[in-house]
Amino acid sequence: MSIAIVTGGASGIGRAIATSLVRRGDTVIVADLNAAGAEQVADKLNSLGEGKASAAKLDVTDADAVAALYQGVKTEHGSLDLVFNNAGISIGGAAEELTLDHWNRAIDINLKGVVHGVHAAYPIMLAQGAGHIVNTASLAGLVPMPLGIPYTATKHAVVGLSLGLRAEAAGRGVKVSVVCPSFVDTPLLTNVNPDLPETSMSGDAKGDIQKASPRLYTAEKLARDVMRGVAKNQALIVAPAHGRAAWRGARLNPAAAVKVAGMAVGRLRKS
């Protein structure tokens, strides 16, 4: 049985990962800024009769709050085995539409939220001599993704952070993985730029996204991929198969990948 924290656990990918963990018998802290949503998820997970779940309100942009939660879990349970730094926000719009508010929110949540989680969890796991940090990035952290470059930039940064930390942690008992999914059918697609200035992609962008990528993956399928990747200690967990194909293509021919992304932008602008 592992002791795990999942940030952004009230919905989407976080909820699916928390469910997978509880189903295999783990104790999970469902952490989210949406305290009521986290409580609802934890209550439902506790009805499964397998592992255990509790809820915690957490703003990942608050470094002190993140550190307090992670250390508190370690103190209460005696260990902190798994950390899923998963909380994120969807930012969309053409570059000329974006304000510094869009950039700052993406950096604060998508990047600094992960930094805060790593900064809190890594010393605990080093002291234990064991643990696994799993950071959620995106396929947008591996390939060109226009019409949302603050999101893309932060996800590239999370990939680099994770792989660099994995190299440092090698041989010290701490494992690090980064999750890079293609488009997943979660509330992020229908809540683009929340509480931010509107752009052409604001609000419910799911329909526009499906024009460029009609095959939306489910959070439940992704959670299974994540759990398999964690069990294998994969550095990069890229899913689904068409996402891995896009990643391979971008590595082999970056110029072609940019061209394909530009064609997708053209289709969206015409529609």
Catalytic residue numbers, as ranges: 151
Cα 198 to its chain centre, rounded Å, is 23
Q: Report the amino acid identity of residue 96.
A: E
For the CA atoms of the chain, what is the radius of gyration? Answer: 18
Do 183 and 189 contact (CB within 8 A), yes or no? yes
Please give the Cα distance from 251 to 201 (Å, whole number).
Answer: 28
Report d(CA 42, CA 34) in Å as an integer.
12
Strand, helix or coil at 85? strand
Alpha carbon 224 to its chain's center:
15
